[in-house]
Structure 1
Amino acid sequence: MASIDHIEKLDALDKLSVVTYRTGITLFGIALIVFSFAIADDIGFILIKNDYLMELALALFAVSSAMSAANLHVYDKKVRLIITWSAWIGVVLLITIDSEILAWLPIGFLCACFSGIALKESFCFKVIGLKAIPFLLCISILMLAIEVWLIAIICLFLSGVIFIFLAIQKWKMPLHFDIGNKANYQI
């Protein structure tokens, strides 16, 4: 866990990686909210009548996951490997699976990645709701798989709100908070 008392000297690449990571978190929160609206629109729960809402949500999922996974700052390489590979598997499946019936599968891998990110952030920073993220995302994926739409929509939307709140808090923090002590990273 990073110490906020340690101030690491950051080079341009460090700053870029933190900004990209935080942007990924922000986009993932937006993706969850857009996805919940897209599902609600598809089932006729609300009428947005935007044919591209689902495609936008899926594109945001892919981009946000790639951004955060590629720039994850976790000391333990095994934990980092699990979180990042969940994202990469999810992105590949999202690109290759063309079946609406299995759409929950790549989203599940991406949600596993961001569940790990939420837990990581909850250990480092006290942001309300982060420890509930793995539970909410797990329930939402299960509900998507068995087509219980209303519960999935609620869990996805709540997760999106929590991630947006996390993003707001993260953008207020100095960049060095995300890096911690470079000497502690396992390679």
Structure 2
Amino acid sequence: MANPEHKEQLDGLDKISVVSYRLGITLFALSLLSLFSAELLCVLEVKFAPFLREWSLNLIAVSAALSAANIHVYDKKIRSIITWSSWIGLTLFIVIPTKEWLYLGFMFITFSGIALKESYCFKVKGLNLIPLLLILSVLVLWMKEPTILAPLAGLSGLIYALLAIEKWKMPLHFDIGKKANYQI
């Protein structure tokens, strides 16, 4: 965990990395809230629900790439698990786009890891529940139950939105921590 009293000197690439990471978290929150809306509209049999759902899934993929490419975790093994989960998910997203539960499952590993990482720094209510909510979402996606997926996605999106708000409030150097502590 980063020491907030330590102020690392950030270069341009560091700043872009932190902003991209935070943007990924923000887009993930928005994509889950969009998926919540899409699933509700699907239950109500609204005509454009499939379009909104597809848009939400594409946005999850973009947010996974942004977050995985720019996560700041000292331990290289943990960092590898978190990032490679998204890269595998993104590959599956391209290769077998009909298996939503499969590629989202890998991407959700990344966002579960991010939630657990950020729970050490923030006391956002429900942040520790994110892994469970996302695991249940994958199961429900596999079962094709939009009535159950809607509240899971909505609650996860709300928690992640609260996290995103807290992340944007803090200085950029908090995300980097002490550069010397990173395992390469």
TM class by shorter-chain length? over 0.9
Q: Give how far 1:123 is off.
A: 1.3
Distance in 1 between residues matched to 2:44 and 2:2, nearest whole Å? 43
The question of 1:84 aligning with 2:91 is answered: no
The question of 1:171 aligning with 2:168 is answered: yes
Distance 1:10 1:98, change over 3 A: closer
Q: Give how far 1:50 is off.
A: 4.6
The question of 1:103 aligning with 2:103 is answered: no
Q: Give how far 1:96 is off.
A: 1.5
Distance in 1 between residues matched to 2:50 and 2:105, nearest whole Å? 23
The question of 1:8 aligning with 2:5 is answered: no
Distance in 2 between residues matched to 1:98 and 1:183, nearest whole Å? 40
Normalised to the residue count of structure 1, the TM-score between the two structures is 0.93
- The aligned residue for residue 136 of structure 1 is 133
Q: Give how far 1:41 is off.
A: 2.3
Identity of aligned residues (%): 55
Distance in 1 between residues matched to 2:136 and 2:18, nearest whole Å? 29
Q: What does residue range 1-187 of structure 1 map to in structure 2 within 5 Å?
A: 1-42=1-42, 44-45=43-44, 47=46, 49-99=48-98, 102-187=99-184
Residue by residue over 1:12-44, the C-alpha shift from the partner in whole angstroms, topping out at 9 and shown as x without a partner, is 1101100000000000011111112222323x3
Q: Unaligned regions of 5+ residues in structure 2, if any?
A: none
Q: Say which is worse superposed, 54-63 or 146-155, in terms of deviation.
A: 146-155
Q: Give how far 1:110 is off.
A: 0.8
Equivalenced residues, count:
184
Q: Unaligned regions of 5+ residues in structure 1, if any?
A: none
Distance in 1 between residues matched to 2:78 and 2:119, nearest whole Å? 15
